[in-house]
Amino acid sequence: MLSCIQPTGEVHLGNYLGALRNWVSGQHENDVFHGIVDLHALTVTETPGVLGDQTLSLAAMLFAVGLDPDVATVFVQSHLPQHSQMAWIMECTVSYGELSRMTQFKDKAAKREADFVSAGLFTYPALQAADILLYDANEVPVGDDQRQHIEITRDIAIRFNHRFGDTFVLPKAVTPKAGARVMDLQNPENKMSKSASGDAGIVYMLDEPAAIERKFKRAVTDSDSVVAYDREKKPGVANLLEILATATDSSPSAVATKYSQYGPLKSDAGAAVIAMLAPIRSRYQELMNDRSELARLIRRGDDRAEAVAAATLARAHAAIGVLPR
Ligand code: TYM
């Protein structure tokens, strides 16, 4: 099992419910690899000196949510040259047309409008395919927004295997039943996202309880005052039901039967999220207080990951028939 997260901005509730929670629950049954993908973040990084700190802080968050360094391999993408090396092979196995059809590229490029749109933003899925295929991943636990990226990875693997012989394992995306697409509390038509314009609709993992309470109280719902689970017609209410259901291990429709008004639903959702995040926040603070231990844990993950990545890269080179050094 493999999945990764970018060190851009703060980790939010969408990341946690859509992906990180599944990483933690999967770590005892699977051989799991989780990358902090700082090379992906380079596609939009323009300020010097911040990426390293964000990488360290994200590592602390991954351990704080419950990844156990004894069983889960947490590594930093740029520490392993194999990711960049494999990415080139992937770029030569994916077509311009396929990359042009990626909705995330189209969205991100459109959002950046007059801003600089790097070629890396366009070839991003090739680097992501490298991340996944280097670890022979069968399953990739992600939120809904990453499905297309996992599908293109599968297509790339199939094409490579067809050209050069069976080399890569074909991966599939795994998404949670509820929480795969957590929406912005202010704009429930849009997913909760680090690149959103304002913070009022985003619940960050490190938000103070009072801020979380306020964000839920002000959550946008609708005007018909009926609590029912309908993602199409009632996106705001459905989002609150999903969040409360995931935080209390229930289902959104079961939760819906317990409420007749929006007010109590909002405050219970806020309270459940505060309770869920409290232990994570305190573990995060502890971890950030011992940076040398954190660096040691990362080094251990890097070493374990590199052993696997180097073997897969060598296999790909051999399959292609690159002249050995
Ligand atoms: P990233 O860093 O944007 O997000 C990390 C994970 O959080 C999930 N997620 C959400 N889930 C539910 N609701 C939301 N509102 C929400 N927002 C984010 C994402 O689906 C993701 O699982 N391209 C990837 C990083 C990546 C990767 C990989 C992932 C690079 N290489 C290899 C898997 C495998 C990304 O930008 O995720």
User: What is the bridge-based pairing of β-strands 2-5 and 32-36?
Assistant: parallel
SS3 at position 286? helix
Q: For 297-325, how does the pLDDT look when each residue is reduced to its tens digit (9 = 90+)?
A: 999 999 999 999 999 999 999 999 999 99
Q: Clarify whether residues 173 and 68 are in a common domain.
A: yes
Can you give the pLDDT at residue 111? 84
Q: Clarify whether residues 218 and 99 are in a common domain.
A: no
- What is the C-alpha separation between 189 and 234, in angstroms, rounded? 10
Can you give the pLDDT at residue 13? 98
Position 62 pLDDT exceeds 80: yes
In this structure, are residues 185 and 174 in contact, taking their beta carbons and an 8 Å threshold?
no
* CATH number of the domain enclosing 31: 3.40.50.620
Q: Clarify whether residues 164 and 274 are in a common domain.
A: no
Position 124 pLDDT exceeds 70: yes
Position 109 pLDDT exceeds 90: no
Q: For 145-196, how does the pLDDT look when each residue is reduced to its tens digit (9 = 90+)?
A: 999 999 999 999 999 999 999 999 999 999 999 999 999 999 999 999 977 6
Q: Pick from 252, 240, 249: which is nearest to 215 by CA? A: 240
Indicate whether 199 belongs to any domain.
no
Can you give the pLDDT at residue 253? 96
* CATH number of the domain enclosing 247: 1.10.240.10
Position 108 pLDDT exceeds 90: no
**217 is known as an active-site residue:** no
Look up residue 220 and give its two tokens.
């946008």
Q: Whose CA is nearest to atom 20 of ligand 1?
A: 143
Can you give the pLDDT at residue 46? 86
* Count of structural domains within the chain: 2
**108 is known as an active-site residue:** yes
Mean pLDDT on 262-269: 98
The boundaries of the domain holding residue 167 are 2-179+290-320
Position 114 pLDDT exceeds 70: yes
**194 is known as an active-site residue:** yes
Q: For 269-291, how does the pLDDT look when each residue is reduced to its tens digit (9 = 90+)?
A: 999 999 999 999 999 999 999 99
Indicate whether 190 belongs to any domain.
no
Q: Clarify whether residues 58 and 128 are in a common domain.
A: yes
Q: Clarify whether residues 218 and 78 are in a common domain.
A: no
Q: Clarify whether residues 247 and 264 are in a common domain.
A: yes
Confidence of residue 80 (pLDDT cuts 50, 70, 90): very high
- What is the C-alpha separation between 32 and 29, in angstroms, rounded? 9
Atom of ligand 1 nearest to the CA of 19: 22
Q: For 10-39, how does the pLDDT look when each residue is reduced to its tens digit (9 = 90+)?
A: 999 999 999 999 999 999 999 999 999 999
Look up residue 86 and give its two tokens.
């494999």
Check 191, 215, 234, 266 and give the catalytic one.
191
Q: Clarify whether residues 254 and 174 are in a common domain.
A: no
In this structure, are residues 93 and 147 in contact, taking their beta carbons and an 8 Å threshold?
no
Position 115 pLDDT exceeds 90: no
- What is the C-alpha separation between 82 and 68, in angstroms, rounded? 24
Vertex 267 angle, CA 256 and 279, to 5°: 105
Q: Clarify whether residues 128 and 220 are in a common domain.
A: no
Q: Whose CA is nearest to atom 14 of ligand 1?
A: 14
Q: Clarify whether residues 219 and 159 are in a common domain.
A: no
Please give the full DSSP string across 90-156, using - where no structure is assigned. HHTTS-HHHHHT-HHHHHHHHHHTTS---HHHHHHHHHHHHHHHTTT-SEEE--GGGHHHHHHHHHH
Confidence of residue 61 (pLDDT cuts 50, 70, 90): very high
Can you give the pLDDT at residue 164? 98
Can you give the pLDDT at residue 196? 66
Q: Which of these ranges, 8-12, 195-199, 208-212, 315-319, has the smallest mean pLDDT?
A: 195-199
Indicate whether 201 belongs to any domain.
no
Q: Cβ–Cβ contacts within 10 Å for residue 100, how many?
A: 10
Can you give the pLDDT at residue 67? 98
Q: What is the pTM of this model?
A: 0.96
Partnered with residue 33 across adjacent β-strands are: 2, 73
Q: Clarify whether residues 167 and 228 are in a common domain.
A: no
Averaged confidence pLDDT in the chain: 96
Look up residue 203 and give its two tokens.
């619940």
| CA 49, 51, 56, 58 torsion-angle sign | positive
CA 258 / ligand 1 centre spacing (Å): 32
